[in-house]
């Protein structure tokens, strides 16, 4: 009996993960670094990592709106301009995109591979 409960829980979690992944792919465009670079200056560039990560290095021109604060800071993000998101690897930016999409944002993009794959200019806090 306990084994079936465990198996059911695992199946549910895997299914839920697949559902979120497919939903994120529908609402979010993943861009290569070159594609990201071509469009981010005309968009809202948002780093969804935590402040310490942001201070350690971020893409020049980005704003720090951590995923943990996003619900309370939605007024800082315009719905009429493209949103370019990135985090360290892509997981948090996908979650941020799902949240933004629920709130009516539509032009959502993320950096493929996240900040750890970025080779362009960065800024660090001194």
- Of all residues in the chain, the percent with pLDDT exceeding 90 is 64
Residues 6+ away with beta carbon under 8 Å from 41: 61
Average pLDDT for 88-114: 92
Name the pairing type of β-strands 122-123 and 58-59: antiparallel
pTM: 0.80
Distance, CA of 50 to CA of 57 (rounded, Å): 11
CA distance 8 to 106: 35
Average pLDDT over residues 68-96: 94
pLDDT of residue 7: 82
Mean pLDDT, range 63-88, rounded to an integer: 96
User: What is the model's pLDDT at position 52?
Assistant: 95
pLDDT tens digits for range 4-17: 888 888 887 877 66
C-alpha closest to that of 82 among 45, 54, 111: 45
Per-residue confidence (pLDDT) for residue 21, from 0 to 100: 61
Maximum CA pair distance of the chain? 58
Mean pLDDT, residues 42-63: 95
* Top-tier CATH class for 2-123: alpha beta
- Tell me the mean pLDDT in the region 51-80: 95
- Span 76-94, mean pLDDT? 94
């Amino acid at each position: 009996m306990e084994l079936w409960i465990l198996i059911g829980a695992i199946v549910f979690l895997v299914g839920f993960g697949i559902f979120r992944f497919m939903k994120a792919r529908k609402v979010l465009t993943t861009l290569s670094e070159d594609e990201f670079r071509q469009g981010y200056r005309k968009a809202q560039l948002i780093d969804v990592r935590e402040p310490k990560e942001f201070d350690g290095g971020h893409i020049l021109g980005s704003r720090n709106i951590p995923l943990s604060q996003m619900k309370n800071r939605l007024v800082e993000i315009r719905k009429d301009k493209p949103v370019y998101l990135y985090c360290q690897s892509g997981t948090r930016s996908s979650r941020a995109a799902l949240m933004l999409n629920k709130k009516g944002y539509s032009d959502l993009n993320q950096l493929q591979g996240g900040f750890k794959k970025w080779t362009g200019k960065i800024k660090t806090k001194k």
